[in-house]
Chain A
Amino acid sequence: MALFILEDAAGIGNDQIDTFQAFIDCVIIANDDGVGLNDPAGGRQQVTYARTENGPPQLRLDALVNTTFTPDYGSGPQQVDTVVIPGLAGFTLDDGTDFRHNGTALAPNSSGLAGASLNTTEFCLVIYDTQQNICVARQGSGDIDLPISNPVVLYHEFSHAFRIVNNGLLALTGECDPSSPEENAAITDENDLRTQIANRQGETPALRDPGIHCGAVGCDGGCCIIATVASKSLNSKQIQFLRSVRDHFVRSTEVGYAFFQKFFYDYYSFSPQVCTIMVGNPEIPGHLLEGYINPLLDFWKVMIERSGNNFSDAELGAAFVRHHPDRAAAQSRLEALQSTVAYWMQEETEGNSAPAELLTLLRERAWPSEYMQWALVAPVRIYHDVLTRYLAGADEAAIGRAFNNELDTWAPEIPISDVWAALSAEEVVKELEFCENVLLQSPASKKRFHQRLLDRFADITSVDVVLNGLTANAGVVQ
């Protein structure tokens, strides 16, 4: 007997712990149905495991489940069992550390190992958030953009636990780059599971850099509608383009980062469920590709060309036309757009073949979000208008004029996050410069955006100083 999952305990109650998720995570680590759970006893359920596979994750799980560990921490051998505490919201250690978006393995109280004084028990405790959304450093680039799934978090903590119950914990430091020897070892183990899971799915493994233990909350992981549709229909170059749109416009700045945090929060409140619905409705990706995703991509392609170049109407019109050399293809694009609007964007109507649950989901989750409206809905509407004008025979200047007008109305309405209030004046100037360069090019749209910032942050010095300074300077120039 060695590995348990907590099911209930004095002081909380059994609906507070995500026992089932921890069990599922163990099954994913084992990759077979040899994992079982005994009936609850003393508030915990013992994990059982009859191993059939021989990979490192299976051997490690087997050892944790089927070995009786008796480490000697200095006062003679003692039996140490491991107890997993999954998804206990609000769980906080005595030093104030909580486990939202993280996990840990705590050595038994009497062991004297790192973290032992925070553990009130003689168990090795594995604690992890089952609703985590964290990003870790990608091997190769070192960028903190690699998602980590629940089984991988659990397996990482099992690696620490394994060394704790063998009294082999390595050195820990407060630094995350370079990582400590203990974290380096846990990440190296974690990569065994990443490799195996990717191989099971026929994918190329994306590994974590063992030399970097730093991580961040908020990762663009999970199921993304756009990526799912794209992976069935687009080449990887186009998917790369979607990432570059994100990186180009926003990820690199404070305000952009905050924008994406909120955007992802709203986006992932419905996107995974849409993916589930798509599995049962294979016609949806086809509808979406030409009727939504490609128009969205083309919109942002033109926006990237425009950013940094103050396009005249004629230049913007020319850019749009350049992206649509084939009139017949543009015509069928317009038809696809119109059918998508009917299928996807509208209310439930008689004869609408879209699944009701999809429409409900979008109505309740997607459309009420100002982030979804601004970034995913309005651009396609603008694109639709411009494409209609182009196909009606307008010349480049007229197309560009209509396009610029719509952009001037749309761009300054970008959702404004609280982060502006926490910036220094110099940072406000930098962020504003960036926004103006890539998005807000006309004087009218700059003015509108400044006004929105002033209305929202009237009493924040840095915003006030910068914007009222700008107004004063503009007065002198004119």
Chain B
Amino acid sequence: MKGRDTKPDDLKASIEAVEPRPGYTDEKTGKKTPGELELVVRMKNDADRALHYISDVRATRYDPNTKILTVALSDEGREVIPGAIMKLPVFRRIDPGSTAEIHITVPDRIIKLSRNAPPGEIAFETHPLSEAREVVVEIAWAEVPYYKDTRGKDDNRLPAARWEQHKARSTKPMRGGGRTPKK
């Protein structure tokens, strides 16, 4: 029996909690543990088939103008660059009508290369995420499990960006972050 067609909002996400975990330095070893934000995200599958989604953070973006922090569980928009390793996404499956919960962490500050450094110098911008007014989580999903795309290599996207069909989104005002902005 063929079920109904899957709709782009069949996988729903909701951010249940955003907990800061302060960093600290171990006095004995000098090892620094950087601060983090832990997010608890609830998933719900309204489709009548199992759906497949990415369950780990692939990109963290912060816009200092809108003060919106976007945590992407998606490879869309990420560039292919050299690296020590390539970390494949962690994929999970959610049954029809089911709920699930994932815990994810991001650093509690974002440091980016500044585009305003004088020539020949390196400068950074630091954005403590405690300043964020709103957090957005985007979760890539598809109706089928991740599979390797064996077509030609002229597509510059990461493989999981080619696989994803939709994104589940949830937004939440940050604690002490002021009003929820209008869309």
Contacts and interface: CB of A to CB of B under 8 A. Distances in A.
A102 B101 contact: no
B102 A421 contact: yes
Contact of A119 (B58, B99, B113, B126): B113
B100 A120 contact: no
Contacts of A122: 119-120
Contacts of A148: 84-85
Most buried by B among A105, A272, A422, A459: A422
B159 interface: yes
Contact of A96 (B72, B108, B114): B72
Interface in B86-103: 86-88, 92-95, 97-103
A273 B31 CA distance: 12
A128 B159 CA distance: 24
A273 B28 contact: yes
A175 B159 contact: yes
Interface string A204-217: 00000000011111
Interface stretch (A24-32, A82-90, A233-241, A391-399): A82-90
A134 B84 contact: yes
A74 to B, nearest CB: 19
B158 interface: yes
Given A90-B107, A90-B109, A10 B114 contact: yes
Contact of B82 (A12, A105, A460): A105
A91 B72 CA distance: 16
Contact of B100 (A10, A85, A214, A460): A460
B64 interface: no
B84 A424 contact: no
A118 interface: yes
B58 A96 contact: yes
A114 B83 contact: no
B44 to A, nearest CB: 9
Contacts, number: 208
B100 A462 contact: yes
Given A101-B87, A120-B114, A214-B86, A10 B123 contact: yes
B93 A176 contact: no
Nearest to B148: A175
Interface residue tally on A, bucketed by range: 35 or more
A94 B112 contact: yes
A102 B83 contact: yes
A98 interface: yes
A59 interface: no
B115 interface: yes
B108 A174 contact: no
B85 A102 contact: yes
B111 A90 contact: yes
B125 A11 contact: yes
Given A121-B117, A424-B94, A418 B81 contact: no
For B29, B79, B88, B101, which residue has the most chain A Cβ atoms within 10 angstroms? B79
Most A-side CB within 10 Å, residue of B98, B119, B153, B157: B98
Given A85-B122, A96-B60, 20 more contacts: A12-B126, A44-B122, A92-B60, A92-B111, A95-B77, A95-B79, A114-B80, A114-B82, A118-B113, A119-B113, A121-B117, A174-B157, A215-B87, A273-B28, A422-B102, A424-B100, A425-B98, A426-B95, A462-B95, A462-B100
Interface of B: 23, 28-29, 31-32, 34, 43, 50, 55, 58-61, 70, 72, 77-88, 92-95, 97-103, 106-115, 117, 119-126, 148, 153, 156-159
12 contacts: A11-B123, A98-B107, A104-B83, A121-B117, A153-B84, A172-B80, A173-B153, A174-B157, A216-B85, A217-B87, A424-B92, A461-B98
